[in-house]
């Protein structure tokens, strides 16, 4: 006879404000098989858990239902408590009366009734629960880091320094990410390249790190500790082992008028190129779209000049397979480009540029060698207008969130400009200044007080060109919202920080969730900021949301610590919520008829054939068998099996049926 | 497809030449333009400034009459009237109870079946307009759209609200050279022509100033109100600006009409305050040149030079 | 969730009444000022559009600010050029709000004295439409001159307009003028006569 305990949580007021928890407890007590029913303010707290443990011991409970929040939140908590009291943890179930009830309904009898129904179904289920044993799986102690910006670099180095192997996959010809494009960095104004390039070199030289640059993830299968990655190494069109990085080819290549991605379109590069002189690896790639040979079939000049005969025009993409135990996603972000702001002439006027372009103008390695010169005519701009929130906090033309980094880099830009053009006049149009962070507010104050940057509180309505000047029509809302007009030589838009263009596709390959803006979603916004909802896949840097370098690095180190913790175990414990094929005593052995429809349906290739032989070795029957290491518990096979011979442990036909009946019977009673 | 014609009040009066030139053009290309029967004033700015129901009822009465006459769409050449009719149709189709209430007011069951067409859309439909051109209109023109052809974007759903191009394309088809200028969609002062002439003089003055400074030989408009402000109010504008603008303002239909070889009289060109006679003289021989501005052309064409990127460093980079 | 407590009926804040009439929620405005930056007449206005939004935002707490909005010159200067709406990052239909404020201002007889000429013009315009169904420009101009007292200002243009055939001495008329009169009676007139 079942003895079920029901524990109803108020969740502070999260539940009790809309659900009458007393009534739920009273009603639950009346359900046949319920031996104990109580409510408490915080069931997950220590005294709350103690209530569960004591009841198990004192009342000899055979099953537990905790009516509280989502199982995603606290199922592990309560299962652990049950185990500590000697009850098999899989005999404990959560009835979600918060997300599925109190949060989504108004206070009232109907809401309380729904909560009671939810409890009723879980009681019915738990009566059918069976004690299960967790599955143990080995861990492959190799991490794959995707994205070689500062976040990916930091995560790789930290994991490698902890003694584990790292595979770093970067889609561009060089690692470095956006940080390599920056001139100097807030809030200290240290040179970006100077702090970044040593780390890039360290990555290249680290014995534990294998770098695949110009490569992308093709697919990822498996599960935590046991992933299988397929990586596409895009054809560089040269033999990396032979190439010495001498650069002769890049100097001789005749098609040289290609806008450089690294210089944000402000400089030019040849068809065979290295993105920037400090690139890692320092090996060129041929951009086949622009290369004369690939376009016309003639040229091959690089091949002729290459002293080591490294050029390979017929090279194909290569697929590399790797077993990895954990993945760190560090694919970074992008900024909004194009003519999404027609009233600002962005994409139309050459002297209306974005923040990254300004970084290149200010960078000693940039197209102007660090002199601020405007793109149209190369003149030094006397007046520069910086526009913050260009597309951020702008549901109409951009995105509704705050990109977080622009206030700071705009202050930096205005400052750098003033440092380089002493007589120049920098203006910043802003709505709010968000400078929370160590030394951040002080940095912005410095821009205003020491460098005399003119901050104008208001938005710009329109920018148009007149006689070689850009007329900026703005407003100062602190001056009675009077319109202002500034004739500028250069306008810098702090365009919104957005997700990488390929973010969604990659997320789907990895089965990780992402938000409406295609930024990767953390498992919990406060308590699990570096994990995804997929076990074994972690997050670092601006792929999760726009963030600055200190935050990206901190998160990367956090992700690396998570990976190291994972790799510190030799075995992992997995929940046994997997498919099992029916087994019976002879002479039936199994209800499975051996049609193997399940095998073709399983997306994880987890179904094998098992031959059942008699004592004499004679083949009696061939039946399906599930490999517990591969099965993900998706249940596809269950739906396919015609003889109902496959079940998912923990969600068996019997259990689900009992839940449904509990609801239906309630309907009969009400009628 | 039956296309009706709603002239609106000004095309019968102060903008007579707009309707003359339109009808002459319609004859020339063989289009019928029957007037909406017993049409009334759309109410213009005055109605929506003073009363919402009146502002909806007046246009609804017009549209209902067009529907009753079996018209599938109504050409509304005046941009101001176009806006009122378009907004009314939009609002009444979005809200059925409002539609019923206004139907009651105008004593007709307005269904919203007749579409509302502006002059650029109508001209854009003339097949092979280029081939009909007899005298290419080889002039630098400033296409002035004003406010109401393109805004509010969600209601009119015509061209883009910033830097629209449809009129420019049309002008190219008749051989003109539309300039890239900054005041295409800035307000001319609209309904303040009489009550706040001072404001009109300022706003319209800015528009003319920009057009002149970029070498326009004419401003092309599609709205009697804009025309009134830019042409008839020229003395006020010039007085305020303290200088003369010898820049004629012509209707889009007059520009197309001239290119199609219609007579100035047919197009009502004699009725302007600022004489467009300069446009009637043969165009100077020069081919229409693109108006290149200091920073206007394509971003990738000539990036900053002096780049060192692309070549890998043969020496080790300096690192702190 | 927004409290519905004082959203309806008398005593509702001006911002709530505006929302009721236009569907626009002024709470969305975050005072960026882009509307004022682009408004062609912001420099003539006592409250540029973003400030009108702020007056409305605070109107529930400070009724005297609602009063200022209704008595402002701004609402009559607004040209309905739609620039502000077109560029507002939060897509607030400011011109619709201006319409709603004008209607209330008129009904509550709070029209700013400086807007007299503008209002006189609108009235003259609509009178012409009321009697003839169409705008009779000549008649309207004369009517406006009488209402505003600016006799000579525009008549200077008139002889020239006659000459080129732009002004007519006699109005064009709609046939079914009775029906138009009924429309006016049920709309503008009904409201203006309300105490
Ligand atoms: C104009 C501007 C100025 C800034 N100034 C500062 C500053 O002064 N100080 C500061 O602290 N921060 C600054 N920042 C912010 C800084 O750039 C970011 O914090 C930092 O770049 C984030 O690093 P990341 O590694 O997360 O992303 P990224 O730098 O974007 O790197 C991501 C990397 O992943 C690679 N990648 C992307 N997708 C894939 C894929 N599918 N497969 C493989 N690889 C992939 C990319 O090629 C790239 O190399 C600035 C940002 C901007 C836009
Ligand atoms: S083939 Fe010619 S164009 Fe292509 S990379 Fe080599 S040298 Fe350059
Ligand atoms: S533009 Fe929109 S959000 Fe900005 S101040 Fe004006 S109404 Fe408010
Ligand atoms: S619609 Fe009115 S408030 Fe808005 S920009 Fe135009 S004149 Fe200004």
For chain B, domain boundaries: 3-117, 127-293
Distance between CA A272 and CA C156 in Å, rounded?
Answer: 74
**Which residue on chain A is closest to C35 by alpha carbon?**
A461
Chains A and B form CB pairs within 8 A to the count of 127
Q: Do domains A142-330+543-566 and A333-498 have the same CATH topology?
A: yes
For an interface test with A, which of C89, C91, C92, C93 has the most A Cβ atoms less than 10 Å from its Cβ?
C89
Give mean pLDDT, residues A111-129.
Answer: 96
Specify the CATH number of the domain A4-132.
Answer: 3.40.50
Whether the CB of C37 sits within 6 Å of ligand 4: no
CATH architecture, domain defined by A333-498: 3-Layer(bba) Sandwich (3.50)
Q: List CB contacts (< 8 A) between C89 and chain A.
A: 393-398, 459
> What is the reported pLDDT for A534?
87
Crossing angle of helices C94-107/C14-22, nearest 10°?
A: 120
Which of A253, A273, A288, A311, when mutated, tests ligand 2's pocket best, judged by the most ligand atoms within 8 Å of its CB?
A253
Is B271's CB within 8 Å of C141's CB? Answer: no
Distance between CA C143 and CA B282 in Å, rounded?
Answer: 45
In chain A, domain spans: 4-132, 142-330+543-566, 333-498, 579-649
Using H for helix, E for strand and C for coil, what is the string for A497-536? EEECCCHHHHHHHHCCCECCCCCECCCECCCECCECCCCC
Residue C162: band (very low, low, confident or very high) from pLDDT cuts 50, 70, 90: low
Whether the CB of C49 sits within 6 Å of ligand 4: yes
Residue C145: band (very low, low, confident or very high) from pLDDT cuts 50, 70, 90: confident
> What is the reported pLDDT for B280?
86
Residue C37: band (very low, low, confident or very high) from pLDDT cuts 50, 70, 90: very high
> What is the reported pLDDT for A402?
97
**Would an 8 Å CB–CB cutoff place B312 in contact with chain A?**
yes
Give mean pLDDT, residues C20-44.
Answer: 96
> What is the reported pLDDT for B288?
45
Domain at A579-649, CATH class: alpha beta
Contact C59, C66 (CB under 8 A): yes
Residue with more model confidence, B301 or A225: A225
Is residue A671 over pLDDT 60? no
CB contact residues (below 8 A), chain B span 103-132, against chain C: 105-107
Is residue B318 over pLDDT 80? no
CATH topology of domain B3-117: Glutathione S-transferase Yfyf (Class Pi); Chain A, domain 2 (1.20.1050)
Whether the CB of C31 sits within 6 Å of ligand 3: yes
Taking the centre of ligand 3 as the mean of its atom positions, its distance from the CA of residue C84, in whole angstroms, is: 8
**Would an 8 Å CB–CB cutoff place C72 in contact with chain A?**
no
Instruction: Tell me the shortest Cα–Cα distance from B249 to chain A, in angstroms.
Output: 22
Taking the centre of ligand 2 as the mean of its atom positions, its distance from the CA of residue A263, in whole angstroms, is: 21
- pTM score, two decimals? 0.85
Ordered alpha helix ranges (H), C71-173? 74-77, 83-87, 94-107, 116-132, 137-148, 152-155, 158-163
Residue with more model confidence, A539 or A665: A539
Which of A248, A272, A297, when mutated, tests ligand 2's pocket best, judged by the most ligand atoms within 8 Å of its CB?
A272
Is residue C141 over pLDDT 80? no
Closest CA to A183 of A374, A335, A366: A366
Pair type for strands A326-329 and A537-539: parallel
> What is the reported pLDDT for C173?
82
> What is the reported pLDDT for C192?
65
**Which residue on chain B is closest to C132 by alpha carbon?**
B40
CB contact residues (below 8 A), chain B span 124-183, against chain A: 160-163, 182
Specify the CATH number of the domain B127-293.
Answer: 3.40.50.11810
Residue with more model confidence, C54 or B190: C54
Specify the CATH number of the domain A142-330+543-566.
Answer: 3.50.50
Strand pairing partners for A6?
A: A37, A65
Give mean pLDDT, residues B67-83.
Answer: 96
Atom number, ligand 2, closest to the C-alpha of residue A272: 5
Q: List CB contacts (< 8 A) between C122 and chain B.
A: 45-46, 49-50
Is residue A176 over pLDDT 80? yes
**Would an 8 Å CB–CB cutoff place B226 in contact with chain C?**
no
Distance between CA A294 and CA A302 in Å, rounded?
Answer: 13
Mean pLDDT lowest for which of A126-135, A418-427, B190-199, C75-84? B190-199
Question: Above pLDDT 70, what percent of chain A?
Answer: 99
Whether the CB of C185 sits within 6 Å of ligand 3: no
Is B163's CB within 8 Å of A250's CB? Answer: no
Question: Atom 1 in ligand 2: which residue has the minimum CA distance?
Answer: A300
Strand pairing partners for A647?
A: A580
The enclosing H or E element of A320 equals strand A318-324
Residue B162 is nearest to which of A247, A277, A342, comparing CB atoms? A342
Contact B154, B9 (CB under 8 A): no
Instruction: Tell me the shortest Cα–Cα distance from A636 to chain B, in angstroms.
Output: 45
Is B54's CB within 8 Å of C21's CB? Answer: no
Taking the centre of ligand 4 as the mean of its atom positions, its distance from the CA of residue A327, in whole angstroms, is: 53
**A320-332 tens-digit pLDDT:** 999 999 999 999 9
Give the CB-side neighbour count of residue C161, counting CA atoms within 13 A.
22
Residue B292: band (very low, low, confident or very high) from pLDDT cuts 50, 70, 90: very low
Average pLDDT, chain A: 95
Mean pLDDT lowest for which of A208-212, A554-558, B47-51, C7-11? C7-11
Geometric angle at alpha carbon A616, from A611 and A618, rounded to 5°: 40
Give mean pLDDT, residues C89-106.
Answer: 96
Taking the centre of ligand 2 as the mean of its atom positions, its distance from the CA of residue A233, in whole angstroms, is: 21
Is A480's CB within 8 Å of C48's CB? Answer: yes
Instruction: Tell me the shortest Cα–Cα distance from B309 to chain C, in angstroms.
Output: 38
Is C129's CB within 8 Å of B147's CB? Answer: no
Taking the centre of ligand 2 as the mean of its atom positions, its distance from the CA of residue A306, in whole angstroms, is: 11
Instruction: Tell me the shortest Cα–Cα distance from A377 to chain B, in angstroms.
Output: 8
Is B195's CB within 8 Å of C86's CB? Answer: no
**A585-617 tens-digit pLDDT:** 888 899 999 999 999 999 888 899 999 998 888
> What is the reported pLDDT for A253?
96
Is residue A145 over pLDDT 80? yes
**A486-538 tens-digit pLDDT:** 999 999 999 999 999 999 999 999 989 999 999 999 999 999 999 998 889 99
Distance between CA A16 and CA A22 in Å, rounded?
Answer: 9
Is residue B87 over pLDDT 60? yes
Q: List CB contacts (< 8 A) between C30 and chain A.
A: 393, 431
> What is the reported pLDDT for B281?
82
Is residue B13 over pLDDT 70? yes
Is residue A668 over pLDDT 80? no
Residue C193: band (very low, low, confident or very high) from pLDDT cuts 50, 70, 90: low
Domain at C4-111, CATH class: mainly alpha
State the maximum Cα–Cα separation within chain C, in Å, rounded to a whole number: 64
Contact A599, A607 (CB under 8 A): yes
Please, what sign has the CA dihedral across residues A500, A505, A506, A510? Answer: positive
């Amino acid at each position: 006879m079942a003895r079920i305990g029901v524990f109803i949580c108020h969740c502070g007021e999260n539940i009790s404000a809309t659900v009458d928890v007393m009534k739920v407890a009273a009603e639950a007590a009346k359900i046949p098989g319920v031996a104990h029913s109580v409510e408490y303010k915080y069931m997950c707290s220590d005294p709350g858990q103690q209530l569960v443990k004591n009841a198990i011991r004192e009342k000899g409970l055979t099953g537990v239902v905790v009516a509280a929040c989502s199982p995603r939140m606290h199922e592990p908590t309560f299962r652990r408590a049950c185990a500590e009291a000697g009850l098999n943890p899989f005999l404990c179930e959560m009835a979600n009366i918060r997300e599925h009830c109190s949060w989504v309904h108004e206070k009232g009898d109907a809401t309380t009734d729904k909560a009671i129904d939810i409890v009723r179904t879980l009681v019915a289920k738990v009566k059918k629960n069976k004690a299960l044993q967790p599955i143990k799986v080995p861990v492959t102690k190799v991490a794959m880091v995707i994205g070689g910006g500062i976040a990916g670099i930091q995560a790789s180095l930290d994991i490698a320094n902890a003694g584990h192997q790292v595979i770093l996959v970067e889609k561009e010809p060089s690692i470095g990410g956006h940080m390599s494009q920056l001139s100097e960095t807030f809030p200290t104004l240290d040179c970006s390249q100077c702090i970044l390039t040593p780390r890039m070199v360290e990555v290249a030289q680290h014995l534990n790190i294998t770098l695949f640059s110009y490569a992308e993830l093709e697919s990822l299968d498996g599960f935590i500790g046991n992933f299988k990655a397929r990586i596409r190494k895009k054809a560089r069109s040269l033999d990396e082992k032979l190439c010495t990085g001498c650069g002769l080819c890049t100097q001789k290549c005749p098609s040289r008028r290609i806008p450089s991605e690294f210089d944000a379109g402000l400089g030019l590069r040849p068809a065979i190129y290295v993105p920037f002189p400090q690139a890692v690896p320092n090996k060129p790639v041929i951009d086949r779209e622009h290369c004369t040979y690939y376009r016309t079939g003639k040229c091959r000049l690089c091949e002729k000049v290459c002293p080591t005969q490294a050029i390979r025009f017929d090279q194909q993409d290569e697929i590399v397979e790797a077993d990895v135990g954990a993945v760190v996603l560090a694919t970074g972000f992008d900024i909004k480009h194009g003519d999404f702001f027609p009233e600002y002439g962005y994409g139309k006027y050459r002297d209306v540029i974005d923040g990254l372009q300004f970084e290149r103008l200010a960078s000693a390695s940039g197209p102007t060698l660090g002199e601020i010169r405007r793109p149209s005519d190369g003149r030094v701009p006397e007046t520069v207008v910086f526009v913050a929130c260009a597309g951020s906090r702008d549901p109409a033309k951009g995105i509704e969130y705050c990109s977080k980094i622009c206030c700071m880099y705009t202050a930096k830009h205005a400052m750098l400009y003033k440092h380089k053009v002493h007589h120049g006049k920098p203006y910043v149009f802003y709505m709010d200044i968000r400078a929370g962070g160590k030394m951040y507010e002080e940095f912005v104050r410095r821009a205003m007080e020491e460098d005399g940057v003119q901050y104008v509180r208001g938005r710009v309505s329109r920018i148009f060109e007149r006689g070689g000047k850009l007329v900026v029509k703005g407003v100062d809302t602190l001056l009675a919202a009077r319109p202002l007009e500034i004739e500028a030589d250069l306008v810098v838009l702090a365009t919104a920080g957005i997700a990488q263009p390929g973010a969604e596709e990659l997320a789907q390959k990895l089965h990780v969730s992402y938000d409406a803006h295609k930024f990767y979603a953390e498992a919990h916004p406060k308590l699990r900021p570096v994990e995804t909802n997929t076990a074994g896949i972690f997050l670092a840097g601006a792929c999760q949301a726009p963030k600055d370098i200190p935050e990206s690095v901190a998160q990367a180190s956090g992700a690396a610590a998570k990976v190291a913790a994972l790799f510190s175990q030799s075995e992992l414990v997995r929940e046994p919520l997997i498919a099992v094929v029916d087994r019976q005593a002879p002479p039936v052995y199994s209800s499975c008829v051996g049609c193997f429809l399940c095998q073709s349906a399983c997306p994880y290739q987890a179904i094998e054939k098992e031959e059942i032989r008699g004592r004499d070795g004679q083949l009696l029957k061939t039946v399906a068998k599930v490999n517990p290491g591969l099965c993900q518990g998706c249940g596809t096979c269950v739906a396919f099996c015609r003889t109902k011979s496959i079940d998912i442990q923990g969600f068996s036909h019997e259990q689900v049926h009992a839940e449904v009946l509990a609801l239906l019977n309630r309907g009969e009673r009400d009628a | 497809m039956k296309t009706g014609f709603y002239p609106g009040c000004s095309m019968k009066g102060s903008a007579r030449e707009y309707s003359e030139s339109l009808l002459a053009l319609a004859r020339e290309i063989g289009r019928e333009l029957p007037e909406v029967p017993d049409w009334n004033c759309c109410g213009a700015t005055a109605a929506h400034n003073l009363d919402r129901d009146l502002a909806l009822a007046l246009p609804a009465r017009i549209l209902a009459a067009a529907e009753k006459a079996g018209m599938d769409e109504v050409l509304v050449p005046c941009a101001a009237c176009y806006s009122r009719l378009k907004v009314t149709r939009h609002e009444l189709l979005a809200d059925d109870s409002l539609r019923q209430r206004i139907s009651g007011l105008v004593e007709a069951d307005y269904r919203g079946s007749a579409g509302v067409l502006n002059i650029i859309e109508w001209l854009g439909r003339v097949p092979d307009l280029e081939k009909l051109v007899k005298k290419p209109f080889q002039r630098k023109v400033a296409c002035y759209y004003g406010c109401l052809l393109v805004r509010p974007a969600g209601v009119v759903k015509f061209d883009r609200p910033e830097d629209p191009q449809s009129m420019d394309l049309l002008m190219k088809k008749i051989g003109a050279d539309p300039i890239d200028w900054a005041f295409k969609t800035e307000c001319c002062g609209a309904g303040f022509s009489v009550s706040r002439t001072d404001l009109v003089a300022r706003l319209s003055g800015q528009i003319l100033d920009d057009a002149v400074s970029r070498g326009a030989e004419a401003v092309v408009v599609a709205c009697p109100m804009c025309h009134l402000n830019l042409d008839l109010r020229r003395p006020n504008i010039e007085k305020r600006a303290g200088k003369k603008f010898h820049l004629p303002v012509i209707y889009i239909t007059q520009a197309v009409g001239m290119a199609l070889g219609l007579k100035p009289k047919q197009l009502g060109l004699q009725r302007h305050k600022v004489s467009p006679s300069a446009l009637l003289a043969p165009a100077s021989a020069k081919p229409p040149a693109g108006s290149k501005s200091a920073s206007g052309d394509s971003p990738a064409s000539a990036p900053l030079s002096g780049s060192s990127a692309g070549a890998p460093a043969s020496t080790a980079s300096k690192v702190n | 969730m927004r409290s519905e407590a004082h959203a309806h009926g008398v005593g509702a804040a001006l911002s709530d009444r505006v929302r009721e009439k236009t569907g626009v929620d002024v709470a969305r405005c975050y005072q960026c000022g882009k509307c004022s930056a682009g408004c062609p007449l912001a420099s003539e206005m006592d409250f540029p559009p973003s400030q009108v939004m702020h007056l409305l935002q605070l109107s529930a707490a400070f009724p005297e600010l609602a009063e200022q909005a209704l008595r402002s010159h701004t609402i009559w200067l607004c040209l309905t050029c739609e620039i502000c709406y077109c560029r507002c990052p939060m897509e607030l239909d400011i011109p619709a709000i201006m319409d709603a404020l004008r209607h209330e201002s008129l009904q509550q007889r709070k029209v700013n004295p400086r807007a007299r000429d503008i209002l006189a013009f609108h009235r003259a315009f609509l009178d012409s439409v009321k009697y003839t169904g169409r705008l009779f420009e000549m008649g309207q101009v004369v009517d406006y001159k009488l209402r505003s007292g600016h006799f000579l200002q525009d008549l200077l243009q008139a002889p020239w307009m006659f000459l080129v055939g732009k002004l007519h001495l006699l109005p064009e008329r709609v046939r079914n003028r009775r029906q138009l009169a009924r429309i006016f009676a049920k709309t503008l007139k009904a409201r203006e006569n309300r105490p």
